[in-house]
Copies of this chain bind each other. A is one copy, B any other.
Amino acid sequence: MKYGIVGHTGRMGQELQKVFGEAGCSLVLTSNKQGGTCDTSPDVIVDFSSFDALPGTVGLCRKHRSGLVMGTTALKAQHFELLQDLGCELPVVQSFNFAIGVNVLKMILRDYAPFFQDWDMEISETHHNKKKDAPSGTALLLQDATGRDCPTHSLRLGGVPGDHSVQFGNEGEVVTFTHRALSRTVFALGALRAAHFIASAPAGLYSFEDVLETIRLSKDS
């Protein structure tokens, strides 16, 4: 697979190159605020940079007829409109969290939290001490999947990349769902999954859950 990166010099840009490179993909396009390079048209363009870059990224996709993996956070309504339009022509995957495990837990909680409706529920998340927001966006995403309110506890400990745990307890038992990120690599691996999905997907605007469903279906067959 030939791919391009918007924001190739950033920390996430470098992580993407490492993971895509180890998977045998060829980097054929790069782009950041200082300019860019292009050897040939990529199959997919990956952008985890900044919402400012999005209009330019959409232009590149149109020009090269490339699918898009969009991992930038803090997107607003006008950005989603651009992605929607692009999705009429090309396959686009957009998500705020590309960790596979977080997205599977989200699906599980959506499907199975009703069984725990009369149990107590608590969420804990632990992150490095430089993280400024609390609770984490992922904690909110997981809570949202359950459709319930609950206390959320934010621990800040050294360099922890990111742990999340959702717990349900009744008089006799406790069930815990835990996700632990080992490093930034998580998100690059998820982007790689999305890129492979795009390689064979028709035009459309997809979520990361659509990518995961395809993985499951292909394994079931």
Interface residues of A (CB under 8 A from B): 99-102, 104-105, 107-108, 111-112, 114-117, 119-120, 122, 124, 126, 129, 151, 153, 155-161, 167-189, 212, 215-216, 219-220
Contact = CB atoms under 8 A, between A and B. Distances in A.
A180 B189 contact: no
Given A108-B108, A111-B111, A186 B172 contact: yes
A135 to B, nearest CB: 12
B159 A170 contact: yes
B181 A173 contact: yes
Contacts of A186: 172-173
Given A108-B108, A171-B189, A182 B155 contact: no
Contacts of A102: 173
Contact of A155 (B122, B161, B178, B181): B122
B216 A114 contact: yes
Given A115-B212, A158-B182, 8 more contacts: A101-B168, A104-B112, A158-B171, A159-B171, A171-B185, A171-B189, A176-B177, A176-B180
B174 A176 contact: no
B174 A158 contact: yes
